[in-house]
Structure 1
Amino acid sequence: SYKAFDVEPDKLKGFIDRLRAKGIDGLNVTVPHKVAVMEFMDEISGEALRIGAVNTIVNNDGKLTGHNTDGYGLVTSIEANAGVQIADKKIFVYGAGGAARAVCRAVYDHDCSQLTIANRTEAKAVEIANGLNSSNADVTAIGLGSNKLVDSIKTADIIINTTSMGMEGAAPEPPPGIEGVCKGQLVVDIVYRPLDTPLLKKAKALGAGTLDGLWMLIHQGARSFGLWTGEKFPVEPIREKLLSELSGNLRK
Structure 2
Amino acid sequence: MIIKLGVIGYPLGHTLSPVFQQAALDHLKINGQFKAIPITPEQLPKFIRTMDKNNIKAVCVTIPHKESVLDLIDEIDPEALKIGAVNWIVNNEGNLKGFNTDYKGFLKSLEFETGFSPYKKTATIFGSGGSCKAVSHALNLAGLSKLFIINRTKKKAENIANDLKSENLDIIPLDFKDSIINNVLLESELIINSTSLGMSGGPEPNNDLINNYDINPGTIGYDLVYSPKETPFLKKIIEKKGIPASGLSMLVFQGIEGFKLSTGQDAPEKLMLDITNSISL
Scaled by the length of structure 1, the TM-score of the pair is: 0.91
Q: Is the 8 A contact 1:184 1:207 kept in 2?
A: yes
Gaps of 5+ in 2: 1-32
Is 1:172 the counterpart of 2:213? The answer is no
Aligned residue number for residue 250 of structure 1: none
Is 1:183 the counterpart of 2:200? The answer is no
Aligned residue number for residue 241 of structure 2: 207
| Structure with more helix by fraction | 1
Query: What's the CA shift string for 1:29-76, capped at 9, x where partnerless?
Result: 122322222223221011111111111011111111100111221111
2:182 is aligned, of 150, 153, 162, to 150
Q: Is the 8 A contact 2:210 2:236 kept in 1?
A: no
Aligned residue number for residue 89 of structure 2: 57
Q: Distance in 1 between matches of 2:43 and 2:112?
A: 39
Q: Is the 8 A contact 2:101 2:257 kept in 1?
A: yes
Query: What's the CA shift string for 1:184-219, capped at 9, x where partnerless?
Result: 321100111111111111212222222101011111
- Which secondary structure state, in structure 2, belongs to the residue aligned with residue 134 of structure 1? coil
- Which secondary structure state, in structure 1, belongs to the residue aligned with residue 65 of structure 2? coil
Query: What's the CA shift string for 1:230-250, capped at 9, x where partnerless?
Result: 222233332332233334xxx
- Which secondary structure state, in structure 1, belongs to the residue aligned with residue 43 of structure 2? helix
Aligned residue number for residue 128 of structure 1: 160
Of the structure 1 ranges 98-107 and 232-241, higher mean CA displacement relative to structure 2 is found in 232-241
- Which secondary structure state, in structure 1, belongs to the residue aligned with residue 230 of structure 2? coil
Gaps of 5+ in 1: 248-252
The Cα shift of 1:178 comes to 6.0
Aligned residue number for residue 243 of structure 1: 277
The Cα shift of 1:177 comes to 6.0
Letter in 1 for 2:245: L
Alpha-carbon RMSD: 1.8
Q: Distance in 1 between matches of 2:212 and 2:120?
A: 23
Q: Distance in 1 between matches of 2:266 and 2:221?
A: 28
Aligned residues: 247
Letter in 1 for 2:47: F
- Which secondary structure state, in structure 2, belongs to the residue aligned with residue 2 of structure 1? strand
Query: What's the CA shift string for 1:65-118, capped at 9, x where partnerless?
Result: 100111221111012331111221211101112211111122112221111001
- Which secondary structure state, in structure 1, belongs to the residue aligned with residue 213 of structure 2? helix
Q: Distance in 2 between matches of 1:13 and 1:202?
A: 40
Q: Distance in 2 between matches of 1:150 and 1:181?
A: 8
Q: Is the 8 A contact 2:211 2:236 kept in 1?
A: no
Scaled by the length of structure 2, the TM-score of the pair is: 0.82
